Amino acid sequence: MTKQILIVDDHLLVREGLRLIIETNDAYQIVGEAENGEEALRLAEQLEPDLILMDLNMPVMNGLETIKRLRDKPIEIPVVILTTYNENDYMLQGLALGAKGYLLKDASRETLFHTMESALRGETLLQPEVVEKVFASRQALVNTPKRGLPALSDKEQLVLQAAARGFRSKEIAFDLGISERTVKAHLTSIYNKFGVDSRPQAVAMAIEHGMIHL
Protein backbone atom coordinates (compact mmCIF):
# COMPACT_ATOMS: atom_id res chain seq x y z
CA MET A 1 0.00 0.00 0.00
CA THR A 2 1.30 3.45 -0.95
CA LYS A 3 2.24 5.58 2.05
CA GLN A 4 0.91 9.13 2.01
CA ILE A 5 3.29 11.94 2.93
CA LEU A 6 2.61 15.54 3.99
CA ILE A 7 5.50 18.00 3.53
CA VAL A 8 5.56 21.05 5.81
CA ASP A 9 8.16 23.73 5.04
CA ASP A 10 7.92 27.43 4.31
CA HIS A 11 10.51 27.22 1.52
CA LEU A 12 9.03 26.28 -1.85
CA LEU A 13 12.37 24.98 -3.15
CA VAL A 14 12.68 22.57 -0.22
CA ARG A 15 9.16 21.26 -0.76
CA GLU A 16 9.69 20.86 -4.50
CA GLY A 17 13.04 19.15 -3.98
CA LEU A 18 11.56 16.65 -1.53
CA ARG A 19 8.61 16.01 -3.83
CA LEU A 20 10.90 15.30 -6.78
CA ILE A 21 12.94 12.80 -4.75
CA ILE A 22 10.07 11.10 -2.94
CA GLU A 23 7.99 10.65 -6.09
CA THR A 24 10.78 8.55 -7.64
CA ASN A 25 9.71 5.82 -5.19
CA ASP A 26 6.38 4.17 -5.96
CA ALA A 27 5.95 3.27 -2.28
CA TYR A 28 5.19 6.90 -1.44
CA GLN A 29 2.75 9.58 -2.54
CA ILE A 30 2.83 13.29 -1.65
CA VAL A 31 -0.76 14.09 -0.66
CA GLY A 32 -0.23 17.66 0.47
CA GLU A 33 2.15 20.53 1.16
CA ALA A 34 1.96 23.23 3.83
CA GLU A 35 4.07 26.32 4.40
CA ASN A 36 3.25 26.88 8.07
CA GLY A 37 1.97 25.02 11.12
CA GLU A 38 -1.63 26.21 10.95
CA GLU A 39 -1.97 24.93 7.41
CA ALA A 40 -0.23 21.69 8.41
CA LEU A 41 -2.73 21.01 11.22
CA ARG A 42 -5.65 21.59 8.87
CA LEU A 43 -4.22 19.29 6.19
CA ALA A 44 -3.22 16.62 8.72
CA GLU A 45 -6.81 16.40 9.96
CA GLN A 46 -8.26 16.53 6.45
CA LEU A 47 -5.84 14.13 4.72
CA GLU A 48 -4.69 11.87 7.59
CA PRO A 49 -1.28 11.19 6.02
CA ASP A 50 0.89 8.28 7.12
CA LEU A 51 3.90 10.54 7.79
CA ILE A 52 4.68 14.26 8.11
CA LEU A 53 8.03 15.80 7.18
CA MET A 54 8.11 18.91 9.38
CA ASP A 55 10.27 22.03 9.23
CA LEU A 56 10.90 23.74 12.57
CA ASN A 57 11.44 27.40 11.73
CA MET A 58 8.26 28.64 10.00
CA PRO A 59 6.04 31.74 10.11
CA VAL A 60 2.51 31.85 11.61
CA MET A 61 3.09 28.67 13.64
CA ASN A 62 6.49 27.00 14.00
CA GLY A 63 7.20 23.30 13.90
CA LEU A 64 7.48 22.83 17.67
CA GLU A 65 4.04 24.29 18.34
CA THR A 66 2.64 22.23 15.48
CA ILE A 67 4.07 19.01 16.92
CA LYS A 68 2.58 19.90 20.32
CA ARG A 69 -0.87 20.45 18.81
CA LEU A 70 -0.68 17.28 16.73
CA ARG A 71 -0.36 15.33 19.97
CA ASP A 72 -3.83 16.56 20.96
CA LYS A 73 -5.43 15.29 17.75
CA PRO A 74 -7.36 11.98 17.74
CA ILE A 75 -5.15 10.69 14.92
CA GLU A 76 -1.54 9.70 15.58
CA ILE A 77 0.83 10.63 12.75
CA PRO A 78 4.60 10.10 13.00
CA VAL A 79 6.64 13.26 12.43
CA VAL A 80 10.17 13.50 11.09
CA ILE A 81 11.85 16.86 11.67
CA LEU A 82 13.51 18.67 8.77
CA THR A 83 16.48 20.49 10.24
CA THR A 84 19.65 22.41 9.50
CA TYR A 85 22.86 22.43 11.50
CA ASN A 86 21.98 25.69 13.26
CA GLU A 87 18.72 24.47 14.82
CA ASN A 88 20.17 22.27 17.56
CA ASP A 89 18.00 23.44 20.46
CA TYR A 90 14.83 23.37 18.38
CA MET A 91 15.65 19.84 17.26
CA LEU A 92 16.16 18.66 20.85
CA GLN A 93 12.81 20.13 21.84
CA GLY A 94 11.14 18.47 18.86
CA LEU A 95 12.52 15.07 19.80
CA ALA A 96 11.45 15.61 23.40
CA LEU A 97 7.93 16.32 22.13
CA GLY A 98 7.80 12.94 20.42
CA ALA A 99 9.10 13.43 16.86
CA LYS A 100 10.27 10.12 15.42
CA GLY A 101 13.60 11.45 14.18
CA TYR A 102 15.13 14.12 12.03
CA LEU A 103 16.60 14.71 8.61
CA LEU A 104 19.13 17.26 7.49
CA LYS A 105 17.73 19.19 4.55
CA ASP A 106 20.75 18.17 2.49
CA ALA A 107 20.45 14.47 3.40
CA SER A 108 21.05 11.92 0.68
CA ARG A 109 18.19 10.16 -1.09
CA GLU A 110 19.12 6.92 0.67
CA THR A 111 19.06 8.57 4.11
CA LEU A 112 15.72 10.22 3.34
CA PHE A 113 14.00 6.95 2.49
CA HIS A 114 15.75 5.04 5.29
CA THR A 115 14.54 7.57 7.86
CA MET A 116 11.00 7.61 6.47
CA GLU A 117 10.81 3.81 6.47
CA SER A 118 12.00 3.66 10.08
CA ALA A 119 9.44 6.25 11.20
CA LEU A 120 6.62 4.43 9.42
CA ARG A 121 7.62 1.20 11.19
CA GLY A 122 7.44 3.02 14.50
CA GLU A 123 11.23 3.00 14.85
CA THR A 124 13.61 5.93 15.03
CA LEU A 125 16.71 6.57 12.94
CA LEU A 126 18.97 9.15 14.55
CA GLN A 127 21.72 10.44 12.28
CA PRO A 128 24.99 10.13 14.26
CA GLU A 129 26.61 13.21 12.74
CA VAL A 130 23.70 15.38 13.83
CA VAL A 131 23.59 13.96 17.35
CA GLU A 132 27.32 14.58 17.65
CA LYS A 133 26.89 18.17 16.47
CA VAL A 134 24.09 18.79 18.96
CA PHE A 135 26.09 17.21 21.75
CA ALA A 136 29.11 19.39 20.98
CA SER A 137 27.00 22.54 21.00
CA ARG A 138 25.41 21.65 24.34
CA GLN A 139 28.80 20.89 25.89
CA ALA A 140 30.02 24.32 24.84
CA LEU A 141 27.30 25.77 27.08
CA VAL A 142 27.32 23.22 29.87
CA ASN A 143 30.63 21.75 30.98
CA THR A 144 29.23 19.48 33.69
CA PRO A 145 26.20 17.19 33.68
CA LYS A 146 22.99 18.66 35.02
CA ARG A 147 21.35 17.08 38.03
CA GLY A 148 17.82 15.79 38.02
CA LEU A 149 17.76 12.57 35.97
CA PRO A 150 17.99 9.16 37.67
CA ALA A 151 21.28 7.30 37.27
CA LEU A 152 21.52 4.59 34.62
CA SER A 153 23.20 1.24 35.03
CA ASP A 154 26.42 0.66 33.08
CA LYS A 155 24.56 -1.47 30.53
CA GLU A 156 21.75 1.05 30.17
CA GLN A 157 24.34 3.78 29.56
CA LEU A 158 25.96 1.70 26.81
CA VAL A 159 22.60 0.97 25.20
CA LEU A 160 21.57 4.64 25.27
CA GLN A 161 24.87 5.82 23.81
CA ALA A 162 24.57 3.28 21.00
CA ALA A 163 20.97 4.39 20.35
CA ALA A 164 22.16 7.99 20.16
CA ARG A 165 24.67 6.98 17.48
CA GLY A 166 21.84 5.63 15.36
CA PHE A 167 22.26 1.91 15.96
CA ARG A 168 19.17 -0.28 15.89
CA SER A 169 18.27 -2.68 18.67
CA LYS A 170 19.52 -5.64 16.68
CA GLU A 171 22.89 -3.99 16.08
CA ILE A 172 23.21 -2.95 19.73
CA ALA A 173 22.46 -6.50 20.82
CA PHE A 174 25.16 -7.93 18.54
CA ASP A 175 27.72 -5.34 19.65
CA LEU A 176 27.08 -5.88 23.38
CA GLY A 177 26.70 -9.65 23.14
CA ILE A 178 23.16 -9.67 24.51
CA SER A 179 19.74 -10.50 23.05
CA GLU A 180 17.61 -7.97 21.21
CA ARG A 181 14.92 -8.58 23.81
CA THR A 182 17.37 -7.53 26.55
CA VAL A 183 18.23 -4.36 24.64
CA LYS A 184 14.54 -3.48 24.43
CA ALA A 185 14.17 -4.19 28.16
CA HIS A 186 17.05 -1.80 28.90
CA LEU A 187 15.44 0.86 26.70
CA THR A 188 12.11 0.42 28.49
CA SER A 189 13.89 0.82 31.82
CA ILE A 190 15.55 4.02 30.56
CA TYR A 191 12.20 5.39 29.37
CA ASN A 192 10.66 4.67 32.78
CA LYS A 193 13.52 6.37 34.61
CA PHE A 194 13.39 9.45 32.39
CA GLY A 195 9.60 9.58 32.24
CA VAL A 196 9.53 9.37 28.43
CA ASP A 197 8.12 6.89 25.95
CA SER A 198 10.45 6.92 22.96
CA ARG A 199 14.07 6.63 21.92
CA PRO A 200 14.40 10.21 20.57
CA GLN A 201 12.92 11.63 23.77
CA ALA A 202 15.40 9.65 25.87
CA VAL A 203 18.32 10.72 23.69
CA ALA A 204 17.21 14.36 23.77
CA MET A 205 17.01 14.32 27.57
CA ALA A 206 20.36 12.59 27.91
CA ILE A 207 22.03 15.17 25.67
CA GLU A 208 20.34 18.03 27.54
CA HIS A 209 21.64 16.69 30.86
CA GLY A 210 25.13 15.80 29.66
CA MET A 211 24.69 12.05 30.16
CA ILE A 212 25.85 10.95 26.70
CA HIS A 213 29.49 11.00 25.66
CA LEU A 214 29.99 10.68 21.90
Confidence of residue 213 (pLDDT cuts 50, 70, 90): low
CA neighbor of 194 nearest in space, from 180, 205, 209: 205
Of the chain, the percentage scoring pLDDT greater than 90 comes to 35
| 213 located within any domain | no
pLDDT recorded at residue 129: 57
Burial level of 181, CB count in 10 A (0-12/13-18/19+)?
exposed
Tell me what the mean pLDDT of segment 86-96 comes to: 67
Tell me what the mean pLDDT of segment 5-18 comes to: 94
Q: Do residues 190 and 109 both lie within one domain?
A: no
pLDDT recorded at residue 142: 43
Claim: this prediction has a pTM higher than 0.75 = no
Is the model's pLDDT at 69 over the cut of 50? yes
What are the angstrom distances between the C-alpha of 129 and each of 23, 102, 104, 112, 132?
A: 27, 12, 10, 15, 5
Calculate the average pLDDT of the chain.
Answer: 82
Pick from 81-95, 114-128, 140-154: least confident: 140-154
CA neighbor of 66 nearest in space, from 27, 106, 32, 93: 93
pLDDT recorded at residue 84: 74
CATH code for the domain in which residue 14 is found? 3.40.50.2300
Q: Do residues 83 and 171 both lie within one domain?
A: no
How many Å apart are CA 61 and CA 38, to the nearest integer? 6
81-95 core/surface letters (b: 16 or more CB in 10 A; e: else): bbbeeebbebbbbbb
Is the model's pLDDT at 191 over the cut of 70? yes
User: For residue range 175-189, what is the model confidence (pLDDT) as tens digits?
Assistant: 888 998 999 899 999
Q: Do residues 109 and 200 both lie within one domain?
A: no
Is the model's pLDDT at 135 over the cut of 70? no
How many Å apart are CA 103 and CA 57, to the nearest integer? 14
Is the model's pLDDT at 86 over the cut of 70? no
More confident residue, 128 or 142: 128
Q: Do residues 100 and 142 both lie within one domain?
A: no
E strands along the chain, which residues?
3-8, 28-34, 51-55, 79-83, 101-104
| 214 located within any domain | no
Top-confidence range, 40-54, 163-177, 191-205: 40-54
Domain that holds residue 115: 3-125
Q: Do residues 106 and 194 both lie within one domain?
A: no
Q: Do residues 107 and 38 both lie within one domain?
A: yes
